[in-house]
Structure formats: structure tokens, C-alpha cells
Amino acid sequence: MTPQSPPAQSATPAAATSRLVSAPLDPADRLIVALDLPSATAALELAAELQGLCRWFKVGMELFYAAGGSIVTGLRDRGFQVFLDLKLHDIPNTAAGAVRSVSSLDASLLTIHAAGGEKMMRAAVEAAAHPGSPTLLAVTVLTSMDAPGLSATGIPDPPETQVLRLARLARASGVPGLVCSAQEVAAVRAAVGAEVLTVVPGIRSAGAPGSDDQARIATAADAIAAGASMLVVGRPITQAPDPAKAAAALLAEIATAATRPAGS
């Protein structure tokens, strides 16, 4: 696959996210590399290694708590788009305040937990309504959770049932995007509409052994075929002997899947 260089001047968060629900998408706009690393130095070194291949990086709690907002601005200054995966879940006033606080960082996407309920999500949506705010994604059920895990928390339903319940609630609350596993993404689109932005973690390379701590996983090709807008990939790239080679292979898999006829 021919490496694709990011634009000389990184797109604004609003411009970056507005094209994510359009088709066809460039494979480089579908892949988010999860920088689940303990320091800004390690994260920026990996981002530099993937420059020219990858446009999107995820900053999760581990990296954000270690490096603070400077890691987001550091990635943005290098021309990358940032998915800020903080999974905000608190009372409505606090969640809204957190959205406002991180909006100045220029991230393109930001997660909240759908389990926080309608009032919390509506407050977060209102806080993200002003220009420059990230596009919100509601996390439905973590990909590490299976039916026994949900049952232990008092939810007797299988993951797909709970995902659909929370997806409908999030969309009714005005949240434009959703996070779910590849196993539910087709049902989510059928339930809430084809225009929803769907971000799917738990992606593993075709033929890769094991699933780490993830319970509901899929290959990149299967996730795209099921209707995923974007894929979040961490360890298959970040822990690969050659991260750039691993990223290029995943981009090629995405490109192949994206050109298949529907239902094939």
C-alpha cells in the first residue's frame, strides 16, 4: 500500500469529523491508532514512526493522565487528528464542565458513557454545541464485557441488547456518534439510522492469536463490512515488531473491505 501523507495543514476538528459519515472514505480516515502508552515521549515517537501512514490517534486515560492536555496539542501541532477517549461519566453538571474544559485542546472526537443517562448526555451535548468543540461519541458496552460480565453488574441482558438500548438512548439525547463492538454495529445502524458515526474498538489483525483482555473482537475487514465508520486499533500496531508495517497491513485490509459489494 502506498503511504499517504497527512495534509500540510491539519484539518479542523469540525472538518475532520464532518467527512466521516460520507462515503467513500479514505482508509486513512477509518483507522485510529490507540496510543495507550505511559508517556508523551513514547506516544510522539510512535506517531512520528507512523507519519505518512496514519492520520488519527487515540489519547486515552493512561496517556492523558500521564501527559495532560499537552499531548493532544502536540499531536495536533504535528498535523494529526485526535480521538480523546476519556469516557466521561458523572453527574450532568460535572460531565458538561469536563466537555467544556477539554474543548480548548482541539480534539476531534470525545467519548462519554451512555450509561450516564439521558440528562448527563444532553448536558454534554449542550456543552459541545459551541464552535471548536469535539464531536461526542457515546460508549455503549465496553468490548471487554461479555454476558457473564454484564450479569455481574446487574444487567441480565446479552451485550447486543444492552448496546441497542444505550445506542437508542444516546441518539435520542442528541449524541451524534456511538462506540460499540463489531458484533453489534450492523444492528446499531439498523436501529438508529445509517447516518450515525460508529467507532469500533476490539480490532485484531486477521490470523492474529488471542484477544488480550477484549471479549468481543473482530478483524478490520469484518468490522468494515458490518458497517463500522472507524476502527480503533492498539496493540496489534503499537506492540508489533514493525508498527508501520502492521499499520500498512491494516490499512490494506480496510481498503479491500471497503470496496466489497454490500453483503459480500
**SS3 track for 217-235:** CEEHHHHHHHCCCEEEECH
pLDDT number for residue 256: 87
| pLDDT tens-place string over residues 230-239 | 999 999 999 9
**Residue 245 annotated to the active site:** no
| Alpha carbon distances (Å) from 133 to 120, 129, 209 | 17, 7, 39
Cα(182)–Cα(199) distance, integer angstroms: 9
Please identify which of the residues 58, 87, 119, 245 carries the catalytic annotation.
87
Q: What percent of the chain has pLDDT over 90?
A: 77
Cα(1)–Cα(245) distance, integer angstroms: 10
Residue 5: pLDDT band (50, 70, 90) is very low
Residue 15: pLDDT band (50, 70, 90) is low
6 inside domain: no
Structural domain boundaries enclosing 130: 13-258
pLDDT at 131 over 80: yes
Cα(61)–Cα(73) distance, integer angstroms: 16
Out of 11-15, 103-107, 223-227, 259-263, pick the least confident.
259-263
Higher pLDDT, 99 or 13: 99
44 inside domain: yes
137 inside domain: yes
Out of 2-6, 162-166, 242-246, pick the least confident.
2-6
Mean pLDDT along residues 153-162: 95
pLDDT number for residue 10: 60
pLDDT number for residue 2: 40
| Alpha carbon distances (Å) from 177 to 47, 94, 115, 168 | 25, 21, 15, 11
7 inside domain: no
Mean pLDDT along residues 20-44: 87
| pLDDT tens-place string over residues 48-75 | 999 999 999 999 999 999 999 999 999 9
8 inside domain: no
What CATH number is given to the structural domain containing 45?
3.20.20.70
pLDDT number for residue 19: 57
Mean pLDDT along residues 72-98: 98
Query: Could you give the number of structural domains in the chain?
Result: 1
The backbone torsions φ and ψ at residue 252, rounded to the nearest 5 degrees and listed phi first, read -65, -40
